[in-house]
Amino acid sequence: MTPAAIRGSAAPAEEKEEAIGTWTEAVDLANGFLASPFRRTLPEGRFDLDEAEGMRFVAADRTWSIEVRSTTGGDLVLWAGYQAQERSYGFVVGSCPPDEEPLLHHSLFRTKSGDLLDPDALARLVLHETTHVVFREGTIGFWNSLAYYLEAIFLFRSRTHSDEDLPRATSEEFLFYRLWPDGTPEWRAKALEMLEDHLGEDRPHCRHGPVPIED
């Protein structure tokens, strides 16, 4: 899925531009977070949203493709109550109402009921799934996928799955970053103080960085 592919779809021009605009704003929000002191888990870097090649995460010495695909597997993920699921190339999403245009009507841009996502929600999704890809946590490759599903099935874990600890940490950091999006510097400092307090607590189901990246 790329901006160029969306522009070339048969959807109304206004709908296409709205989706691309939301995606672009979400990338800008994610990059603002990545450049801030709220980022603790993902490595220093930024997202690029290329017209023809789609999305990628660029760090100092490495680049990861963050390709988005709407697939049958993504439909199953959506049916199970999730919005997306990581893959080695990025992540998959599932079809959402009105389900007339496969490049637009899916869970990158919409909720399960078909409501449009705002840039904040889209940015949080992209950051969460990118954390999976960067640290190879979750369904990244055959053996990782097998281990993921075995833990989920036999230990009855879904929301508390151990492979969600790092992505969940990134999601929390972004939520603190956006706690008062239009706040004064004093409110921003308060949000950062709250994050520091959170990091100092022994909380289960999140594991904040920095974390070494395996080759």
Give the pLDDT confidence score for residue 203 in this predicted structure.
Answer: 84
Q: Considering the domain boundaries, does residue 142 fall inside one?
A: yes
- The rounded distance, in Å, linking the Cα atoms of 76 and 143 is 20
Question: CB 138: neighbour CB atoms within 10 A?
Answer: 24
Distances (CA, A) of 146 to 123, 142, 154, 166: 28, 6, 12, 19
Whether residue 158 is predicted with pLDDT greater than 70 in this model: the reply is no
Domain holding 82, by residue range, is: 3-200
Residue 115 domain-assigned (yes or no) = yes
> How many distinct structural domains can be found in the chain?
1
pLDDT at 190: 96
pTM above 0.75, yes or no: yes
The per-residue pLDDT for range 82-92, each reduced to its tens digit, is 899 999 999 99
Within a domain: 211:
no
Answer whether residue 212 is part of any domain: no
